[in-house]
Amino acid sequence: MSIQSNSKTVPASFADLAERLMPSVVNISTTQTVTTTTNPFPFQFPPGSPFEDMFKEFGTPQERKSSALGSGFIIDEKGIVVTNNHVIQDAEDIIVRVNGTEEYKAKVIGADPLSDIAVLQLETDDKFTPVSFGDSDKARIGDWVIAIGNPFGLGGTVTSGIISARNRSIGLSRYEDYIQTDASINSGNSGGPLFDMNGDVIGINTAILGRNGSIGIGFSIRATRTRRSRASTRTLAKAPRTSSCRRSSNTAARLHVEPPR
């Protein structure tokens, strides 16, 4: 007696899929100016002390450049890139690296902080290889996925896993409905794609559980939230949201969920 199964075959290798998709995944680096005030006194006032605010004006403001790394993916041959909003928020300069070597300046053409999604335009006339959005609503718990990104500045890193859960609310944004995966996601993976076995983007890697790197619990924004940006990137921030999930004010703190920027 044979038992019929509708489950998909375990892939022998992800090599062909990774080779096809990697030219469409980009590394993003940003810089911004941060102003800090130094303490001119050889002592510190305790937090909440009335003298703390009184002597703040004696500090010397100092500016320094701060840099950050993230990931993204190309959705149009004209150089339109999707990433997380927190990757490029407040950035003064955005540099996008394609294929590990080619660098381009980029500008923000759409952003939705509430959903943590941003869209960039590469400032060039070059043509690129785009990827397509899949239907994340059809993704099932247990399906194989791969993540490609720029963890710790190591561009072109491929990791694999499965969809561990769906419809997660983790307290990072106002509108939530995350895909949970055990594909390794680390600092620098933010904004990178989560692919299904067809090579379609079903999620944007956004957050991890824990403060010391991946422990096998990562979270991705569903692709169905961002697919509309392909048709109208400039109105992304005004696009209607489909999820009614509300933010839980203490969930992120309780779970130690942090964007892997």
DSSP assignment letter at 188 = T
**Structural domain boundaries of the chain?**
22-122, 136-258
* 22-122 and 136-258 agree in CATH topology: yes
Annotated active-site residue 143? The verdict is: no
pLDDT digits (tens, 9 = 90+) for 103-130: 999 999 999 888 899 999 999 999 999 9
Query: Can you tell me the distance from the alpha carbon of 171 to that of 178, in angstroms, rounded to the nearest whole number?
Result: 10
| Model pLDDT for residues 4-17, shown as the tens digit of each residue | 444 567 788 999 99
- Distance of alpha carbon 260 from alpha carbon 209, whole angstroms: 9
Q: 190 an active-site residue?
A: yes
Which of 173, 190, 220, 243 is the catalytic position? Answer: 190
**At the top level of CATH, which class does the domain 22-122 belong to?**
mainly beta
- The rounded distance, in Å, linking the Cα atoms of 213 and 217 is 10
Domain 136-258 has CATH 3.30.70.260: no
Q: Which of 116, 177, 182, 196 is catalytic?
A: 116
Residue 187 in tokens: 């600092």
Q: Is the pTM of this model over 0.95?
A: no
Q: What is the mean pLDDT of residues 164-187?
A: 84
